[in-house]
Each structure stands twice: as structure tokens, then as C-alpha cells.
Amino acid sequence: MAAAFFKKDGPDGTSDPERFLTYLATCYGDPNIEQRALARLESMVQGEKESIASLLPKFEKELADSGGVEWSDAVKINYLKRTINRA
């Protein structure tokens, strides 16, 4: 796959690295990553013995993968509230 990209753009090094990474993402990336992350985000629940410090990085990853970074703060907070164990 990389050879095809460089053959098209030339081996002289004038290719834009961002275009190359975008090309690789289209070849190897998961086209359903947002939908899968959103499903995981909607079903995510803090475990009984799980600390908030352990939960937050997982929550933020799913939020980022689902496109939630662009959501309003109110929506993000609502998702987080549903995730946190009230015990």
C-alpha cells in the first residue's frame, strides 16, 4: 500500500506526510470506529471498585473516537453522569 502511494506521488520526498498518514488511515482504518465507540460510550458504566481516575481515561478515549470531542459540554457531562457509579 505504501509503495502505491509513493509511486503516485514520486520518490523525491516532496510528498506531504499528512497526506501519507491520511492515505494509510483510509487503507487500514476502521470505517466504523465512531459507531463502535459511541456504542461503547452509551453502555459504559463505572465498576463497583473502579476509581474515577481509572474510568476517566477510558471515557475520554471513547468520547474522542466517537466524535464527541465536538459535542457541547452539557452533552459530554450528561454522558459522564450516566457512566459514574452512584454508590
Tens digits of residue pLDDT in 25-67? 888 888 888 899 999 999 999 999 999 999 999 999 999 988 8
Per-residue cell: 50: 473502579
Any idea what DSSP says for residue 16? -
Residue 18 has a pLDDT of 83
Q: H or E element: which one contains 5?
A: helix 2-9
Give the model's confidence band at 9: pLDDT under 50 very low, under 70 low, under 90 confident, else very high. low
CA 36 to chain centre: 10
Give the model's confidence band at 14: pLDDT under 50 very low, under 70 low, under 90 confident, else very high. low
In sequence order, what DSSP letters do the residues of 15-62 get, joined into one string? S-HHHHHHHHHHHHS-TTHHHHHHHHHHH----TT--HHHHHHHHHHH
| % of the chain beyond a pLDDT of 90 | 49
